Amino acid sequence: MRRSFRLDADACTHVGRRRQRNEDAFLLTDRLVAVADGLGGHAGGEIASAVAVASLRASGAAADPESLRGAFVEAHLAVQRRAAEEPELAEMCTTLCALALDPAGSAVLANVGDSRIYRYSDSRLTQVTWDHIWENEYVRMGMSPAAARRMQGAGSLSRVIGAFPEPCEADVWTFDAADGDRYLLASDGLTGELPDLDIAASLAAGESPATAAARLVEDANARGGNDNITVVVADLVEPARRRPG
């Protein structure tokens, strides 16, 4: 029998309790979901994240690694083109993480920046992406974590969509789909406030994606809400495998 997965996904975004504007953006379609966290002076951050998400949607990216990588390069160039139109937007950039579903049975994930994708499967939460910040790059180069943390600019982004002139390469992962797998895409306004254990508890509660997303945002605000918070919860559903009732 031909397998046919679908995405049951929902999102929640909130400005948080300290910021004046929400510079995050998200994308929800039946095959493709994404989160973007924009940075840049004036209105730059919210424009960068919105342009990246709109570009990704328009790309019609398929659920294969090359297609998704190409769509990320397109988004990168789209943000750069928009930035070139106004001097005030010159520095704007954004993170971008995305999940594309192949209904035949796989999920392709891509990431640039420090928004994150988690996979909740068989009652275990795994962080799939690694944050593109200099601290992590230094550790990859062989520096000790303690020394890397002390480096100047350790926490700043080492890869972004938009700001650097080079085309930006996304990290990409492919997972076999299984009925009941749950994915979380989140900006750092969530992961900066909530430890993984609390995130896992919210994802495990068996609530709908909409309810789980709203609960996560509420919890991040309760812990401080120091940044914009954006969450997409996406369940992989294989209707033929679902028992009636």
State how far the Cα of 111 lies from the Cα of 149, in Å rounded to an integer. Answer: 22
Give yes or no for residue 193 binding Mn ion (CB under 5 A).
no
Stretch 151-180 residues interacting with Mn ion (CB under 5 A) = none
Are residues 129 and 35 in contact, defined by beta-carbon separation less than 8 angstroms? no
Applying CB under 5 A, which part among 4-12, 55-63, 76-84, 188-196 lies near Mn ion?
Answer: 188-196
Q: What is the smallest separation between the CB atom of 230 and Mn ion, expressed in angstroms?
A: 8
Question: Of 108, 105, 106, whose CA–CA distance to 4 is shortest?
Answer: 105
State the DSSP code for 161: B
CB of 39 to Mn ion, least distance (A): 8
Work out which of 74, 135, 181, 188 binds Mn ion, going by CB under 5 A.
Answer: 188
Of 10, 12, 8, the closest CA to residue 189 belongs to 12
Work out how close the CB of 188 gets to Mn ion at its nearest, in angstroms, rounded to a whole number. Answer: 4
- Decide whether 131 or 227 has the Cβ nearer to Mn ion: 227
- Among the listed residues 40, 227, 231, 233, the single contact to Mn ion using CB under 5 A: 227
Question: Residue 210, exposed/middle/buried by CB under 10 A (0-12, 13-18, 19+)?
Answer: middle
Question: Which residue type occupies 67?
Answer: S
Nearer to Mn ion, 38 or 209 (CB): 38
Region from 85-93, 133-141, 199-207, 220-228 binding Mn ion, contact rule CB under 5 A = 220-228
List the x/- string, 5-44, binding to Mn ion by CB under 5 A.
--------------------------------x-------
Angstrom distance (rounded) from CA 237 to CA 170: 26
3-state DSSP call for residue 2? coil
- Complex with Mn ion: residue 10 or 37, whichever CB lies closer: 37
Residue type, 53: V
- Counting residues that bind Mn ion (by CB under 5 A) gives 5
Tell me the closest approach of the beta carbon of residue 27 to Mn ion, in angstroms. Answer: 17
Neighbours of 120 (CB within 10 A): 21
Minimum distance of Mn ion from residue 21's CB (angstroms): 12
Which residue bears the tokens 């209105």? 43
5-32 burial, b if ≥16 CB within 10 A, otherwise e?
bebebbbbbbbbeebeebbbbbbbeebb
- The CB-of-227 to Mn ion minimum distance in angstroms stands at 4
Work out how close the CB of 187 gets to Mn ion at its nearest, in angstroms, rounded to a whole number.
Answer: 5
In which residue are the tokens 């070139």 written? Answer: 84
Interacting residues with Mn ion (CB under 5 A): 37, 187-189, 227
